[in-house]
Chain A
Amino acid sequence: MENLLEAHAVSKKFGDFTALNNVSITVPKGSIFGLLGPNGAGKTTLIRVINQITMPDSGHVILDGEPLQPHHVQNIGYLPEERGLYKSMKVGEQALYLAQLKGLSKAEAKKRLQYWFERLEIGDWWNKKIQELSKGMAQKIQFVVTVLHEPKLLIFDEPFSGFDPINANLIKDEILRLKENGATVIFSTHRMESVEELCDHIALIHQSNKILDGKLTDIKRRYKTNTFEVGIKTTDKIALAETISKKFNASLTDFKSLNDELKLNIKLSENETSNNLLSYLTSKGEVSHFVELIPSANDIFIQAVKNN
């Protein structure tokens, strides 16, 4: 797959503090790319480098095959984490102004704004001032302004902060729709549940270094431990547990279930398959539960950060 954005060995220091140390990422076209990391890891600095707000000390960025140039700002839509709008300006005027700064003509901007305002059901805000709106309302306007010029690359830094669950969902659906329409999205967050839902690719930055990147499914495969969560109905749980422990690496566990059953985590060694396990278990009793434990993004995040 072709890459829309490639950052090569980007480093940035602020005084003695290293914000980015040789970080490279590749963002495939049409993907949603999760840029993850704990607070202060360097995510925002990397995003600023991509937006040409910050110049890297070394390394370079390639956007759609070209080295990053000033005119590329028109191909990027950026929703920063620190965001706001001119408080005393009317919503419509402000949106028009920001859209024109991104290179749209006034007429075109107006047309698209009307479409988006209708879509998000905020048409009657046009003549309101930002200071009259709630934070969540202002965030919606900001979202519209970010995507209005239909950029190839969208960068959202913590897009859901400040939204109630309903609006967060609305925005999430819009992001997915934009992706379907061909946009590439970089998505920076430390809220892992949204990563699971949205991202195809992720990169994990920790203490200025990239410690993990790739397709989310590949990473999960890499991090899985071949552990299965099983439940077997039996009359003598202790005896059965002992029997199974002799053959497999098993440990007692707990999960939500309607049955009173023996609940085990069983870790398979490399030459054992899930079929071996399943047929063995069925010979011992009725298998009511059989699930491979796939690490969540959250687990991977915590584990990767801890290992470093």
Chain B
Amino acid sequence: MNHLPLIIKREYLTKVKNKSFIIMTILSPIIFIALIAVVAYLSQLNNNKTRTISVLDASGLVTDIFQNTEHTTYNILNNVSLEEAKTIVEEAETYGLLYIPKQDSIAAMVKHIKFYSKESPSLSVMTGLESKLENKLRDVKLQQQGIDINKLTASKTSVNIAQESFIGEKTSKIDSYFKLGFGLAAGYLLFMFIIIYGNMIMRSIIEEKTSRIIEVIISSVKPIQLMLGKIIGTSLAGITQFVIWILIGSILMTIVSAILGIDLIQQTPQQEMMQQAMDNPEVAIEMQNAMNAFWNLPIANLIIAFILFFVAGYLLYSSLYAAIGAAVDNETDTQQFMFPIIMPLVLAVYIGIFTVIEDPHGAVSTIFSFIPFTSPVVMLMRIPFGVPVWQQLVSFLILVGTFMLTVWFAAKIYRVGILMYGKKPSYKEIIKWIKY
């Protein structure tokens, strides 16, 4: 008798009807969006505040670089001593005072540039000031050596090597980033899914033991059917929850940004800079390249491969959780097993970052794209660089095969586990049980 559909249905419905599941499904995106909204709102408040920085330029070399911007006003102090300046700034309660001393050489001067403030200044402000000064002082030095700055700027050349394969596929450096990005996103998503829902599967496997219904169930169905049913049913519940999260999340996102008038993907100073950069023709070309790079990806192959490898990879890791659930009697015994499960995934992501990007078809990446525990991530990272279909297929079949094997193994452990009652089974016995 095939009870699999029945078991899947029960697992799915019990999970989905569970009160805490429903609450978490609805509450998580709300909390998540609320947090984002609060953070966005606060940082917007922060950004809208303009700060005044006083500058005392004793050297007289750099005064012209301090131009007021939307968020920062520069107050240039003249004809005062440092002590006086300090008092003035402190009384005015402005952000701080930048002091550039007068020295014989620039080299001596830079050692004594100081920033005075009541509270320690933000890192971004300091970095901004430093880079302003560095640029200006470099120009000053160049001028001192008689070099024409305008000529120097004009002599700058930007090189962007266009890449093309022998069969005429155009690629670029930016392609590689896109490809890597895709692989990373896939890997990260898999990672998250496994962490969130792996535990759920494990708990569901332990459920029969804690509720002591195990003997009744096991005298009606085969353990492997129970395992498979639980893994599939729980996964479906997980997918349901995830889809609802995305739906509620995007709806809320729209509503919140409409009501509060906050652009949640907000306009930060960095973005301002981005936009300015976009006006620059060079960057515009880069963006164009990026778009091209995106469309250059083997999209159909990627989507199919993503779905297949994601599902199979997820199932494989779930079956590992199931095996742990089968081996232990209660949840407290399971904590120590979490780390070894996550390890291969972390390894896969690192292999992806360090080897696939360097040499997508090298020995290391190729081998790891066939090993089932790393293949979901590594293969997905390799595919954008072009992997023969037969390789994808073989890797996928290995993955599915390993999954079935793990489930089967978990089922064996399960059956032995209930009968051993805490006794440690010998290897001979395990082998015997596996044969049964």
Enumerate chain A interface residues (CB-CB to B < 8 A). 14-15, 48, 51-55, 70-71, 73-74, 76, 78-80, 82-89, 97-98, 100-103, 142, 145-146
A contact residues around B222 at 8 Å (CB): 70
B212 to chain A, nearest CB (A): 3
B423 x A78 contact (CB < 8 A): no
20 new A-B contacts, CB < 8 A, other than A84-B212, A97-B6, A145-B216, are A14-B420, A48-B419, A53-B215, A53-B218, A54-B419, A71-B1, A73-B219, A78-B219, A79-B216, A80-B215, A80-B219, A83-B215, A85-B213, A86-B207, A86-B213, A87-B211, A88-B18, A101-B221, A142-B216, A146-B216
Most buried by A among B218, B415, B420: B218
B1 and A103 within 8 A (CB): yes
**Contact of B425 with A by CB under 8 A:** yes
Closest Cβ neighbor of A89 among chain B residues: B14
B218 & A86 in contact (Cβ 8 Å cutoff): no
Cross-chain contact A101 with B212 (CB below 8 angstroms): no
Most buried by A among B10, B207, B214: B10
Provide the residues of chain A in CB contact with B220, threshold 8 Å. Answer: 73, 98, 101-102
| Residue contact A78 to B215, C-beta cutoff 8 Å | yes
Q: How many interface residues does B have (CB within 8 Å)? A: 28
List of B residues within 8 angstroms of A146 by Cβ: 216
A70 to B1, CA, bound (A): 9
CB-contacts of B191-250 with A (<8 A): 207, 211-222
User: Among B211, B217, B420, which residue has its beta carbon within 8 angstroms of that of A101?
Assistant: B217
- Check: B426 CB closer than 8 A to any chain A CB: yes
Q: Are A82 and B215 neighbours in the complex by a CB distance under 8 Å? A: yes
CA distance A80 to B214 in the complex (A): 10
Q: Which of B216, B418, B425 contacts A78 (CB 8 A)?
A: B216
B415 closest partner in A (C-beta): A53
Q: Check A76–B219 contact: CB distance below 8 A.
A: yes
Judging by beta carbons under 8 Å apart, are A15 and B425 in contact?
Answer: yes
- Assembled-state Cα–Cα distance A76/B207 (Å): 24
Flag if A53 contacts B213 (CB, 8 Å). Answer: no
Q: How far is the CB of B429 from chain A (nearest CB, A)?
A: 7
Given A80-B215, A82-B215, A85-B213, verify A14-B423 contact (CB < 8 Å).
yes
> B residues within 8 A CB of A142?
216
Whether B436 sits at the interface, judged by CB under 8 Å, is yes
The 3 lowest CB-CB distance pairs between A and B, nearest first, are: A84-B212, A80-B215, A101-B220
What are some 28 contacts across the A-B interface (CB < 8 A)? A14-B419, A14-B420, A14-B423, A48-B419, A51-B215, A51-B219, A53-B219, A53-B415, A53-B418, A55-B436, A70-B222, A73-B220, A78-B216, A78-B219, A82-B214, A82-B215, A83-B213, A84-B211, A84-B213, A85-B213, A86-B213, A88-B14, A97-B10, A100-B3, A100-B6, A101-B220, A145-B216, A146-B216
CA of A71 to CA of B207, assembled, Å: 25
For B250-282 the 0/1 string (1 means CB < 8 A from A) is: 000000000000000000000000000000000
Chain A residue nearest to B220 in the complex (CB): A101
CB distance from B333 to the nearest CB of A (A): 19
Nearest-Cβ distance from residue A71 to partner chain B, whole angstroms: 7
Instruction: Give the Cβ gap from A304 to chain B, nearest Cβ, in Å.
Output: 27
Bound CA–CA A100/B2 (angstroms): 11
Instruction: Assess the A15–B426 pair: CB atoms within 8 A.
Output: yes
The answer for the CA separation of A51 and B429 in the assembled complex, in Å, is 20
Q: Which residues of chain B come closer than 8 Å to A79, judged between CB atoms?
A: 216
Could you tell me which residues of chain B, from 1 to 36, have a CB within 8 Å of some CB in chain A? 1, 3, 6, 10, 14, 18
